[in-house]
Amino acid sequence: MRLFNETYNLLKKEIILEWRSKYAFNGVLLYIVSTVFICYISFNLNPGFKSSQGYPIVWNILFWIIMLFASVNAIAKSFMQESKARLLYYYTIARPQAIILSKTIYNAMLMGLLSILALLVYMLFFTNTVGDLFFYFITVLIGSISFSTVFTMISAIASKAGNNGTLMAILSFPVIIPVILLLIKVSKAAMDGIDRGHSYGTIGVLVAINVIVITTSLILFPFLWRD
Amino acid sequence: MKFIYQTWWKVLAVVLIFYTLTAGFLIGVPRLPILHETIRNTYFHVPMWIAMFTVFTISVVYSIRYLQSGKEEHDLIAVECVNTGLFFFALGLVTGMLWAKYAWGEYWSNDPKQNSAAIAFLLYCAYLVLRNSIDEEQKRGKISAIYNIFAFPIMVVLIMVLPRLTDSLHPGNGGNPAFGKLDMDNRMRIVLYPAFIAWALIAVWIATLRYRIRLIEFKKNAIN
């Protein structure tokens, strides 16, 4: 029960801090919009792209790659912005599980909101070809939650090891590749409007990966947080 | 820890290796379409992965023990096991690729099993890069131990679980037969199972030798 209270209070603190500055939210949103716009201009330099056969495949994969890089950038900050003194203060008032859990939940909420906005912006520029729009939405939400769980733990490790962007990419990409492969598979099925029943197995594997990652971060973070 | 200084299991490993090398090439194998004599690669390809899993498991156990005890020796065991494991990982990939050239027609045919093995290889290479990025010894030991424990279940999911869910050409995946089903008979089992033990012991032996060298260096550099 104390864990729940601590997590709740830390989460509230994260949201209030973000609400006051809106730095991460606006920054990542601008990042996504600019990337989408760059992709839009670049692809439309080639006439006949929209009517080409590979358009739906590019549509789907491009969206996930934009989301991947946006979430690496957004979540890498989650431990960087904390000053040493503030971390020291957390050690005295909360337990490590509450800290990692609140960060993960906060990142999942932030990424969930951002990915839905990103999808709307993306659909504005790139003509929508999705068959089962509701299921695609659900997949995007599951995807942003999966990105958050993995990247939060990795950014905790990377922040202890000099905090550079290279390390974050090296450490997180092998872990995220299976997740993104599964996501592309499910979202492609949603695009083609294939019966939802075929994708439940893959979603089950995604949920299982998330459970494994959250459990290992809850077990391992207590060893990581103190220097 | 006395185990690593004893001789009997090293002798056993060498004897078993020679047994599997001779028996593997001489004893008859079931005649199957497409595979033919390439089925003998089972004696060399699969044991590499068994050896890799053995040393990676030891590495995770010692990473957990390092987090509990903070002894530098445990960290050294963990890192040397990963080094040895990566060597056997590479051998497993190469033996698989050579076999795939004859059975599938290409060294690398974008098969899910091959791809996820390559990703798992990157995962463990990242472990070594992470170690090199930290200078302070205790911090390095702690953070790399945490990453090692984090990476191991993901490696298992990548190599053992994910390829089974997709249409892999690899035997044992995607509904293809593997040991104990259609294409394995008792003549193969009497070679294969000793090969598992032999290569696992060889891997442990290499890891212990590397660990003992590191231990000497560590003691030499220690300030008394």
What are φ and ψ of residue A225, in 5° steps?
A: -70, -30
> Quick one: which H or E segment has residue A50?
none
Which residues in B lie closer than 8 A to residue A216 (C-beta atoms)?
149-150, 153
What pLDDT is stored for residue A38 in this prediction?
92
Closest-CA residue of B relative to A172 is B123
Closest listed residue to residue A79, CA positions, set A221, A186, A196, A202: A221
The secondary structure of residue B107, as a DSSP letter, is: S
Query: Structural domain tally of chain A?
Result: 1
pLDDT at residue B178 greater than cutoff 70: no
Neighbouring residues of B154: CB distance < 8 A, sequence distance ≥ 6? A174, A175, A178, A212, B120, B123
Structure confidence by residue, pLDDT tens digits, B16-29: 999 999 988 888 77
Judge whether A191 and A136 are in contact, CB under 8 Å: yes
Which range marks the domain in which residue A126 is found? Answer: 2-224
What pLDDT is stored for residue B88 in this prediction?
95
Burial of A147 (0-12, 13-18, 19+ CB in 10 A): buried
Structure confidence by residue, pLDDT tens digits, B65-81: 999 988 999 999 999 99
More confident residue, A142 or B35: A142
Which residues in A lie closer than 8 A to residue B149 (C-beta atoms)?
216, 219-220
Question: Contact A162/B134, CB-based, under 8 Å?
Answer: yes
Structure confidence by residue, pLDDT tens digits, B108-137: 888 888 888 999 999 999 999 888 888 888
Closest listed residue to residue A96, CA positions, set A227, A224, A9: A224
Compute the distance between CA of residue A184 and CA of residue A190 in angstroms, rounded to an integer: 10
The secondary structure of residue B173, as a DSSP letter, is: S
Burial of B47 (0-12, 13-18, 19+ CB in 10 A): buried
Q: Token pair 């249409």 is at which residue? A: B167
Neighbouring residues of A3: CB distance < 8 A, sequence distance ≥ 6? A95, A97, A98, A101
Neighbouring residues of A97: CB distance < 8 A, sequence distance ≥ 6? A3, A7, A218, A221, A222
| Highest mean pLDDT out of B93-102, B104-113, B152-161, B179-188 | B93-102
Which residues in B lie closer than 8 A to residue A173 (C-beta atoms)?
122
pLDDT at residue B175 greater than cutoff 60: no
Domain ranges, ordered by start, for chain B = 45-186+196-221
Tally A–B CB contacts below 8 A: 67
The DSSP code sequence of A166-204 is HHHHHHHHHHHHHHHHHHHHHHHHHHTT--GGGGHHHHH
Compute the distance between CA of residue A218 and CA of residue A102 in angstroms, rounded to an integer: 11
Nearest-CA distance B112 → chain A (Å) = 10
What pLDDT is stored for residue B208 in this prediction?
94
Q: Compute the average pLDDT of residues B202-208.
A: 95
Widest Cα–Cα separation across chain B? 66
A176 touches chain B (CB under 8 A): no
B34 touches chain A (CB under 8 A): no
Compute the distance between CA of residue A152 and CA of residue A168 in angstroms, rounded to an integer: 10
Closest-CA residue of B relative to A185 is B166
Which residues in B lie closer than 8 A to residue A179 (C-beta atoms)?
none
Question: Contact B133/A167, CB-based, under 8 Å?
Answer: yes
Can you give the pTM of this predicted structure? 0.83
Closest listed residue to residue B196, CA positions, set B91, B22, B54, B27: B54
Which residues in B lie closer than 8 A to residue A161 (C-beta atoms)?
130, 133-134, 143
Q: Which of B68, B86, B111, B147 to mutate to test the interface with A (most CBs of A within 10 A)?
A: B147
Interface confidence, given as ipTM, is 0.76
Which residues in B lie closer than 8 A to residue A188 (C-beta atoms)?
none
3-state secondary structure of B32: coil
Judge whether B55 and B204 are in contact, CB under 8 Å: yes
B168 touches chain A (CB under 8 A): no
Neighbouring residues of B58: CB distance < 8 A, sequence distance ≥ 6? B77, B81, B204, B207
B129 touches chain A (CB under 8 A): yes
State which residues of chain A have pLDDT below 50: none
Neighbours of A186 (CB within 10 A): 26
Which residues in A lie closer than 8 A to residue B128 (C-beta atoms)?
none
Question: Contact A216/B153, CB-based, under 8 Å?
Answer: yes
Judge whether A191 and A131 are in contact, CB under 8 Å: yes
What pLDDT is stored for residue A117 in this prediction?
92
| Residue among A171, A216, A220 minimizing CB distance to B130 | A171
| Residue among A160, A162, A220 minimizing CB distance to B150 | A220
CA distances for B34 relative to A8, A108, B99, B101, B172, angstroms? 61, 49, 12, 12, 16
What pLDDT is stored for residue B184 in this prediction?
63
The DSSP code sequence of A106-175 is HHHHHHHHHHHHHHHHHHHHSPP--SSHHHHHHHHHHHHHHHHHHHHHHHHHHHHTT--HHHHHHHHHHH
Q: Token pair 């091959």 is at which residue? A: B114
Judge whether B84 and B55 are in contact, CB under 8 Å: yes
Which residues in B lie closer than 8 A to residue A162 (C-beta atoms)?
133-134
Among B residues 56-75, those touching chain A with beta carbons less than 8 Å apart = 67
Closest listed residue to residue A106, CA positions, set A173, A12, A207, A37: A12
B142-155 exposure pattern, b = at least 16 Cβ within 10 A, e = fewer: bbbbbbbbbbbbbb
Question: Contact A177/B119, CB-based, under 8 Å?
Answer: yes
3-state secondary structure of B100: helix
Compute the distance between CA of residue B23 and CA of residue B19 in angstroms, rounded to an integer: 6
Question: Contact B162/A178, CB-based, under 8 Å?
Answer: yes
Nearest-CA distance A199 → chain B (Å) = 12
